[in-house]
Amino acid sequence: MADAPPPGTQTLARGLAVIRAVADGATDLRALVARTGLGRSTAHRLVQLLVSEGYLRSGREGYTLGPTLIELGFQALHGNPLPVVARPVLEELSAQLSDTVHLAVRDGDSVLYLDKLPGSRGAEMRSRIGHRMPLTRTGVGMALLLDSEPEWRGLYQAEAPLEPDQVHPGDLDAFLVRMREYAETGVALDLEDNEPGIRCVAAPVRDASGTIAGAISVSATRPYMPAARLRGLAKVVGRAAQQISAGLGHRDH
Q: Domain 10-72, what fold?
A: Arc Repressor Mutant, subunit A (1.10.10)
Whether residue 1 has pLDDT greater than 50: no
What is the chain's mean pLDDT, rounded? 87
Is residue 205 helix, strand or coil? strand
- 172: pLDDT strictly greater than 70: yes
- Residues 201 and 220: their CA atoms lie apart, in Å, by 9
Residue 178 predicted with pLDDT over 60: yes
Question: Is 245 a residue whose pLDDT tops 80?
Answer: yes
> Which 3 state secondary structure label does DSSP give 206?
strand
Average pLDDT over every residue of 184-207 = 92
**Burial zone of 110 (CB within 10 Å; 0-12 exposed, 13-18 middle, 19+ buried):** middle
Predicted confidence (pLDDT) per residue in 12-60, tens digit: 989 899 998 998 888 899 999 999 999 999 999 999 999 999 999 988 8
Residues of each domain in the chain carrying CATH 3.30.450.40: 80-247
**Does 253 score more than 80 pLDDT?**
no
Q: Which of 7-11, 69-73, 96-100, 200-204 is the most confident on average?
A: 200-204
Is the distance from CB of 223 to CB of 197 less than 8 angstroms? no
Right CATH number for 80-247 from 3.30.450.40, 3.40.50.300, 3.40.50.2300, 3.40.640.10? 3.30.450.40
pTM, two decimals, is: 0.70
**Rounded average pLDDT over 203-227:** 93
Q: What residue spans in the chain does CATH classification 1.10.10.10 cover? A: 10-72
How does pLDDT run across 75-134, given as a tens digit for each residue?
666 666 898 899 999 999 999 998 999 999 999 989 999 999 988 876 677 778 888 888
- Three-state secondary structure call for residue 245: helix
